[in-house]
Amino acid sequence: MPKITPKATHLGGSALGRKVIVVMPALNAAKTVAKTVADIPQGVVDKIILVDDGSTDKTVSIAKKLGLKVFAHSKNLGYGANQKTCYWEALKDKPDVVVMLHPDYQYDSARIMDLIQPILTGRYDVMFGSRIRTRQEALAGGMPAVKYYLNRIVGIIENMVLGVNFSEHFSGFRAYSRQVLNKLSFQRMADDFVFDQEMMIAAIAAGFSVGETPIAVRYYQDSSSIGLRKGVKFLLQTFAVLVKYWLHKNKLYHAGIFRS
């Protein structure tokens, strides 16, 4: 683990002339949060908010020592509920861009500008980092083969339904403009893992532009995983959201999560 310093010395987004806030939805990330924070480039981020969702390790104390703004749920409320707190707290500071980054060191936080810059220049409203450019790269980076092929299959279906051509739909490294977060009804969305899918699909339904950028794949022993049972539930929920989107798009059903 990198040395924990009293302050996160990379903070100071004024170098960009725009306010950038990173939010980290955390659960038992004590072993990886310091490494994730250490890789964020200097002079890019104004504030890092970590929301802890009932960790049983030292995630909260480590995050505070790193100089992060920490909010802690008194009990585990779910991944989606965690992100809701992340965005509510971030929006209080009226940021130009909010970056959601898992603190499990699975995503390369050194590439954060690749997500921020297209939003600051007005090219895209939403950006995400894609780990699945080729099968060889994904598997070489440690992604389990089953997870890779499920990502691909479900991704093809999502692309067809949504009319997009993304290489991945399940990234935990995303960036949103303030306008997106202000418009999307994320408080109506799920409290569990399908929240990410609802956010992305709702952004597309609202007409926001979404872009992706390739990032390295890296899976470690300490990388987070939702497990088989929750994974199956997540896939079923994803398909349900796609059906709701299709019905909403064709004016056969009005889904609350797609209302701004």
CA–CA gap between residue 106 and residue 165 (Å, rounded): 23
CA–CA gap between residue 23 and residue 25 (Å, rounded): 7
What domains, with CATH codes, occur in the chain?
A: 13-258 (3.90.550.10)
Could you list the pLDDT tens digit for every one of the 260 residues in the chain? 444 544 554 555 546 689 999 999 999 999 999 999 999 999 999 999 999 999 999 999 999 999 999 999 999 999 999 999 999 999 999 999 999 999 999 999 999 999 999 999 999 999 999 987 666 666 766 777 887 788 889 999 999 999 999 999 999 999 999 999 999 999 999 999 999 999 999 999 999 999 999 998 777 665 556 677 888 899 999 999 999 999 999 989 888 888 76
pLDDT the model gives residue 1: 47
User: Are 235 and 154 in contact, with CB atoms under 8 Å apart?
Assistant: yes
List, in sequence order, every residue forming a beta bridge with 126; answer none if it has no partner: 176, 210
CA–CA gap between residue 190 and residue 119 (Å, rounded): 26
Q: Dihedral (C-alpha) 102, 22, 208, 257: value to the nearest 10 degrees?
A: 60
Distances (CA, A) of 137 to 103, 142, 159, 216, 219: 22, 9, 21, 8, 12
Beta strands in 14-146 (DSSP E): 20-26, 47-52, 69-72, 97-101, 126-130
pLDDT the model gives residue 259: 74
Q: Which of 105, 130, 127 is nearest to 116 (CA)?
A: 127
